[in-house]
A = this chain, B = another copy of it.
């Protein structure tokens, strides 16, 4: 790694893909999950603020900062549902990790791909604590951009090897099944959400519907099932019928944010929920009995992005998969910024 003070390592989209492939998707997700879990376990250390959102008619741009007192990270992320019309991504993201001690950025990274990975890794970490023992079959309802990442993360962390796929668009299911070919799954494409959940120990909902939707109704959810609800993640966007929530033990990342963005926006603001960190540290027990339905109401939190940036940063020295960005002014004499400009003129 460089010691030149003006340089910040930059991980481009191309380098991120190379990094994931060099490490291997399964191992990347496993190792990333360990970083995410480590940071959840030291939850109380983190400076937690709600996202800073700038809303417009077409979408939202958000900044998600957090810090553990030693490192600082933030993610820039947009959400623009209409983007796919002109070939753009609905969500793009990038992030920065910085040194709290001197305020200097240490890493700039693409985070569109990295967010997909950390979302899947977080779901799998949560399921490690919440899913029924011996679970090996997962239904995935919604077979879009996040679906394969979920599948691979659950295989890597929980040994899930049977998938039941459903999407309102059969082409999405075909795409998902094709992408997962040869990765060790027994895949069943299903004709309905009802069919998909049959025999599944874990139900992952990850649809892109932008409104209140009812992907799962109460009668579809058997006892002892773990629901991994990933798709409902902003105000006005939910996937589960309220009755399911009322009979589930509900787990969230950061309660104040999930009350606004998660499935629980359908419930009273004081409905009991458990934060993941409390489960991971053993503070709160899970599953009174084997018939309990557990629900991870995932919306994505800043610490997960922080963990992901921290993980990527730690891979740079060994892999060399980054560029050097001349991002920081570094005059020989800190008080002489103007002189630095003048001297640059002489080199012209």
Contacts and interface: CB of A to CB of B under 8 A. Distances in A.
A141 to B, nearest CB: 15
B56 A69 contact: yes
A103 B47 CA distance: 26
Given A326-B12, A329-B89, A76 B105 contact: yes
A321 to B, nearest CB: 12
28 contacts: A5-B87, A13-B329, A14-B344, A17-B340, A20-B341, A21-B341, A21-B344, A56-B67, A56-B100, A58-B103, A60-B103, A61-B72, A61-B103, A63-B65, A78-B103, A83-B102, A84-B335, A87-B334, A89-B331, A110-B326, A110-B328, A113-B337, A116-B337, A144-B335, A145-B335, A149-B338, A175-B336, A175-B339
Interface of A: 5-6, 10, 12-14, 17-18, 20-21, 25, 47, 49, 52, 54, 56, 58-61, 63, 65, 67, 69, 72, 74, 76, 78-80, 83-84, 86-90, 92, 94, 96, 98, 100-105, 110, 112-113, 116, 144-149, 172, 175, 179, 325-331, 333-342, 344-345, 348
B21 A328 contact: no
A130 to B, nearest CB: 24
Contacts of A18: 344, 348
A56 to B, nearest CB: 5
A327 B13 contact: yes
Given A21-B341, A145-B336, A92 B104 contact: yes
Nearest to A116: B337
A325 B110 CA distance: 10
Nearest to A181: B342
Nearest to A152: B338
Given A63-B74, A72-B61, A334 B175 contact: no
Nearest to A76: B96
Interface of A is mostly: mixed
A54 B59 contact: no
Given A148-B338, A175-B339, A72 B59 contact: no
- Closest 6 CB pairs between A and B? A78-B103, A148-B338, A112-B329, A12-B326, A17-B344, A145-B337
Given A67-B54, A338-B145, A94 B101 contact: no
Contacts of A327: 12-13, 94, 110
Nearest to A332: B87
Nearest to A344: B17
Contact of A59 (B6, B76, B102, B338): B102
Contacts of A69: 56
A302 to B, nearest CB: 11
A58 to B, nearest CB: 5
B94 A341 contact: no
A45 to B, nearest CB: 12
A143 to B, nearest CB: 8
A90 to B, nearest CB: 7
Nearest to A208: B335
